[in-house]
Amino acid sequence: GIQVEQSPPDLILQEGANSTLRCNFSDSVNNLQWFHQNPWGQLINLFYIPSGTKQNGRLSATTVATERYSLLYISSSQTTDSGVYFCAGASGSARQLTFGSGTQLTVLP
Amino acid sequence: NAGVTQTPKFRILKIGQSMTLQCTQDMNHNYMYWYRQDPGMGLKLIYYSVGAGITDKGEVPNGYNVSRSTTEDFPLRLELAAPSQTSVYFCASSDPTRISYGYTFGSGTRLTVV
């Protein structure tokens, strides 16, 4: 199966700052998703983005499929953005996602 | 619209005991998955199912069993619990005809084996 690497593993920001999280894949993906796990453990789907760019409020994501990476941008961060951000992908005919190890984001007031 | 419901939320097992983690979804999704998340780690796939009567192993299936008799339910069975199975277990579902909608996760079951 594919390997998924995320960076940085930890990120601490002041409220209002911007950040970029990166996800690299070992193989081409046809399914790529970003998730946020809040401090209570709930996993929320943020984006389905196997290619191109999407935006949802202060969050946006870009996937460059030919170079096997994806970026998640968080602008004007808020304390409620804290938690762990995971990217996950699947390649070929696989329907099951392989997850990266996550980026732990802490936004300080 | 409940989404994906997991029970119980917490459980403590003694070594060698068995239990079933329940997962049910009301979105008529054909695909369902079980993942485990160890502290500070990402999610690892245990088993998945692409429809009733069809299951397949994921990355870490040893010590677990699943069944899928209906579209709605996908229980995970732990036989002879071991401390290495202490983890948080997440069930998820997806609709293969609406892949852009992504996965929907349950709230998780926190299991401790002592």
Q: Is A102 on the interface with B (CB under 8 A)?
A: yes
Mean pLDDT of chain B: 94
Quote the CA–CA distance of A36 and A58 in Å, as a whole number.
14
Integer-rounded Cα Rg, in Å, for chain B is 13
The per-residue pLDDT for A7 is: 97
- B1 pLDDT more than 80: no
Per the CB < 8 Å rule, is B88 touching A41?
yes
> In Å, how far are A8, A71, B12, B38, B111 from B19, measured between CA atoms?
37, 40, 10, 19, 10
b/e sequence A45-63, b meaning 16+ C-beta within 10 Å: bbbbbbeeeeeeeebbbbb
The rounded mean pLDDT for chain A is 94
Distance CA B80, CA B67 (A): 18
Q: Contact at 8 Å (CB) between B66 and B77?
A: yes
Q: Is the pLDDT of residue B99 over 80?
A: no
Residues 6+ apart with CB under 8 A from B40: none
The whole-number average pLDDT for the span B8-37 is 96
Spell out which residues of chain B touch residue A100, defining contact as CB-CB under 8 Å. Answer: 42
B26, pLDDT greater than 90? yes
Distances, alpha carbon B100 to alpha carbons A50, B2, B71, B73, in Å? 9, 20, 20, 23
Give yes or no for a contact between A100 and A87, defined as CB atoms under 8 angstroms apart.
yes
- Asked if the model's pLDDT at residue B58 lies above 90, the reply is yes
The DSSP secondary-structure symbol of B8 reads -
State the average pLDDT over residues B47-63: 95
- What number is the average pLDDT over the span A7-27? 96
How far does A48 lie from chain B, in Å, by closest CA? Answer: 6
Q: Does the structure show a pLDDT above 80 at A94?
A: no
